[in-house]
Amino acid sequence: MKRRNFLKASSVTLTAVTLAPVITQANLITPNTDTVKKNEFISHYVLFWLKPDVTENDITNFTGFFEELRKVPNVKSLHYGRAANSTPRDVVDNSFTYTLLVYFDNLEDLETYGTHPIHLQAIEKYSKYWNKVVVHDALLK
């Protein structure tokens, strides 16, 4: 009987030791807080609806707004573009004119961006072209 209990305990230990690296790699065990924070970043996702009376030339030149924002310090990456001509579905909203996606390392960098003079001057210069803006900020892993 003692031998049977020893074999059960040994097999459980062997299984745990064998699977621990696999479970950890698959994130089935929650990593410590420091590891998670290193893998987090902030996304700043903005949709712009330009006014109906702007010309096609104005719409093309609106990209200058995004290029100015690229100069703000602490921007990890910045991407922008027009609505894609994807297949219409109930969940797809392609009614916007431009989208902007900016990544930051942390919330402090996003806050700096929001109040930075380059950002504020670009808004002042280009806000005459839009009639609606929607912002989504998210903590991503």
pLDDT at position 38: 76
pLDDT at position 13: 47
Q: What's the rounded mean pLDDT across residues 62-89?
A: 96
Q: Is the pLDDT of residue 4 over 80?
A: no
pLDDT in tens, 111-138: 999 999 999 999 999 999 999 999 999 9
Q: What's the rounded mean pLDDT across residues 22-31?
A: 41
CA dist., res. 50 & res. 66, Å (int): 14
Taking the complete model, does pTM exceed 0.85, yes or no? no
Residue pointed to by tokens 């790699």:
25
Q: Which pair of tokens denotes residue 32?
A: 């410590």
Helices (H), the chain: 2-25, 33-38, 56-61, 63-69, 107-115, 117-126
> 47: closest CA among 5, 88, 94, 14?
94
What is the identity of the amino acid at 67?
E
Q: Is the dihedral of CA 114, 79, 49, 64 positive or negative?
A: positive
CA dist., res. 65 & res. 77, Å (int): 15
- Other CB atoms within 10 Å distance of the CB of residue 67: 11
Query: Given pLDDT bands bounded at 50, 70 and 90, which one contains residue 3?
Result: low
> 110: closest CA among 138, 80, 71?
138
